[in-house]
Amino acid sequence: MYYIGISAYYHESSVFLTDNNGTNCFLKEESFSRIKGDKNFPQRCLKFLIKKFDLKNENIKSICFYEKPFKTWWEIFYYSIKNPLKNKDFLIHHLTNFNNGSIFFYTDINKLINISKNKIIYSSHHLSHCLYGLSIIKNVSDYVYVTCDGVGEGETMSIYTIDDSYKIKKIWTNFYPNSIGLFYSTITDYLGFEINEGEFKVMSLSSFGEPVYEKEIKEIFNINNFTINMDYFEFHKSPIKSFSKKLCEIFGDPYLNINKEENFKKYANIASSAQLILEQTMKNLIQKAIELSGKRKIILTGGVALNCKMIHNLSKKNIFEELIVPPSPGDSGSAIGAANFAFLNELKTKTLNFNTIFLGPQKKIINEKESKNNFFSKINFSNDFIRDVTDKLIEGEIIATYYGSNEIGPRSLGNTSIFCDAKNKEAVNNLNLNLKKRSHFQPLAPILLEEDFEEYFLINISVVKNLEWMGTLCEAKEKLYDKYNSIIHVDGTCRTQVIKEKNSLTYKILKNLKNKGSDIMVNTSFNISKDPVVFDIYDVYVNMKRMNIKFVLMDDGLYQTKDI
């Protein structure tokens, strides 16, 4: 009997299927549609699962949606109707899109699966975030659960506790429009980046500036009581604009060419100021959670938790014993939280727990009816393809990977990655600027064996768990500057990933590379800018051709693209 969790309609639609007996499958709609951050009802994901697991009413225990649809719609409507004339554009948009929203979740499900209505259940938005966090820990009562995002069901911040019998208690909430997440997204929009996609660029850019606008921004967002001055915003009035003229009076004209020297410094200062306000706000939120719960171990979820610079800087404050951000803390990961809600709803005192970050389908399942020999030819440089890969990396080659199961979070963690030797500056720069077409102010991430981490990096022990999935930054030691300075950000930090699993191909590559004199690789996601990460053989082939990558490592060997 399968439990299914679904997140859809707002950000990164996803589906998670489990039977808690070894069967787990996490999918994003963007993997099939090839639309980055696809928010539509995940019909392609469900069709894949229906076919693979022969899903029908009889073998589905329950399907859980990650929030309560009408409450989500009503909370925003209720706020907007208070000033109908001022908010009329947003109200019209909200009403005309009623038919396209999550209120019709059951109807959308039934187009694909003829499911009994009593098998459809609903979690709440922030609770789904919270329950996703349960999947990576064991002693659930040791932690306080903090969720912070843009908005969900009218809530923007929430604090929960869970006891040993899995009794869940919400002990504090902050409400729309008072949202640090929407504030940061507004700054993202002002700087000319795409909301829900460009926030990580603001984070990277902030390291190049100084928080010269701290005082002005504190007039906009109160870091102590978490309230926002709506005079500076339009997201509650307009479906297409997030900031008002009053914000421009502080910062000047928006959407300037960031590549011009004078614009770059100004934008970097704005980003730095916004980042500081975010960090000060989250410090106060976490202190509030500790005070209310008496617990100093934190599970932090919601889209705001993806800001790994914030996690690193919070760890230096020494206000908590441990802080864990799960690998996919945003809305897509909430599909797992929704499945956990369904599971807990049935069994009462048991939830899902995973010892892996690779919950997507195995590559052989994705391509079971496709022949990779149509697109690739196997390379036989020697009888040891791991040695072949490391030889190529040492020579300066850039190698794509496509093996094992897919990662669940927004960051590729080895199985669908692009690697190069971090010692080779030319390869690093070529990968970042030419192949990936990233902005010049965005660094690439290092990946290395756990046993070598302390030789090159410093980190507070309270956030060390997050290194397994690039959930935090750490600081570079002098030895890293001596040998691998091309991967160090301007502020002396790196978003580092450590590898523990000795049976993984990634571990074997790093071990072999170490024997050849290089301890660190660059790891970036296997996609070109603004595209989703590769999912099937077709994606692999197309992306390799577009990026001019010669070699890809798969489960059974090293391959090269054919000309077809």
pLDDT in tens, 522-558: 999 999 878 999 999 999 999 999 999 999 999 999 9
Average pLDDT estimate for 73-85: 70
Do residues 61 and 21 lie in contact, with contact meaning Cβ atoms separated by under 8 Å? no
Where does 348-400 have alpha helices with state H? 363-366, 385-394
Whether the pLDDT of residue 365 is over 90: the answer is no
Do residues 119 and 60 lie in contact, with contact meaning Cβ atoms separated by under 8 Å? yes
Question: Which amino acid type is present at position 416?
Answer: T
Structure tokens at 236: 């509650």
pLDDT in tens, 474-524: 999 999 999 999 999 999 999 999 999 998 999 999 999 999 999 999 999
Residue ranges of the chain assigned to CATH 3.30.420.40: 2-66+68-122+331-347, 180-324
Whether the pLDDT of residue 77 is over 70: the answer is no
Q: How far apart are CA 17 and CA 27, in angstroms?
A: 9
Ramachandran class of 368: left when φ > 0, alpha when ψ lies in -120 to 50, beta otherwise:
alpha
% of the chain surpassing 70 pLDDT:
97
SS3 readout for 124-163 = CHHHHHHHHHHHHCCCHHHEEEEEEEEEECCEEEEEEEEC
Q: How far apart are CA 113 and CA 107, in angstroms?
A: 10
**Which residue in 188, 176, 305 sits closest to 242, CA to CA?**
188
Average pLDDT estimate for 187-193: 96
Q: How far apart are CA 41 and CA 9, in angstroms?
A: 6
For residue 353, the model assigns a pLDDT of 83
For residue 88, the model assigns a pLDDT of 72
* Beta-strand relationship, 376-378 and 557-561: antiparallel
**Model confidence band, residue 180 (pLDDT cutoffs 50, 70, 90):** very high
Burial (CB < 10 A; 0-12, 13-18, 19+), residue 251, is buried
pTM: 0.95
Per-residue buried b or exposed e for 354-389, using 16+ beta carbons within 10 Å of the residue's own CB: beebbbbbbbeebbeeeebeebbeebeeeeebbbbb
Q: How far apart are CA 129 and CA 317, in angstroms?
A: 25
Average pLDDT estimate for 83-95: 70
**Model confidence band, residue 369 (pLDDT cutoffs 50, 70, 90):** low
CA 403 to chain centre: 20
Helices (H) and strands (E) in the chain, counts: 20, 23
Q: How far apart are CA 447 and CA 466, in angstroms?
A: 13
For residue 316, the model assigns a pLDDT of 97
**Model confidence band, residue 380 (pLDDT cutoffs 50, 70, 90):** confident
The yes or no reply on domain 2-66+68-122+331-347 and CATH 3.50.50.60 is: no
Average pLDDT estimate for 232-238: 89
pLDDT in tens, 286-299: 999 999 999 999 99
**Model confidence band, residue 84 (pLDDT cutoffs 50, 70, 90):** confident
pLDDT in tens, 201-229: 999 999 999 999 999 999 999 999 999 99
Whether the pLDDT of residue 95 is over 90: the answer is no
For residue 74, the model assigns a pLDDT of 66
Average pLDDT estimate for 18-34: 93
- Give residues with Cβ within 8 angstroms of 398, minimum separation 6: 418, 419, 420, 427, 430, 431, 435, 549, 550
**Model confidence band, residue 424 (pLDDT cutoffs 50, 70, 90):** very high
For residue 98, the model assigns a pLDDT of 64
Block residue for tokens 């002005």: 216
**Model confidence band, residue 163 (pLDDT cutoffs 50, 70, 90):** very high
Least trusted range by pLDDT, from 237-241, 250-254, 457-461: 237-241
For residue 99, the model assigns a pLDDT of 66
Average pLDDT estimate for 413-441: 93
**Superfamily covering domain 363-561:** Carbamoyltransferase, C-terminal domain (3.90.870.20)
Cβ atoms within 10 Å of 103's Cβ, excluding its own: 16
Whether the pLDDT of residue 86 is over 80: the answer is no
Average pLDDT, the chain: 93
Residue ranges of the chain assigned to CATH 3.90.870.20: 363-561
CATH code for the part of the protein at 180-324:
3.30.420.40
Q: How far apart are CA 313 and CA 553, in angstroms?
A: 36
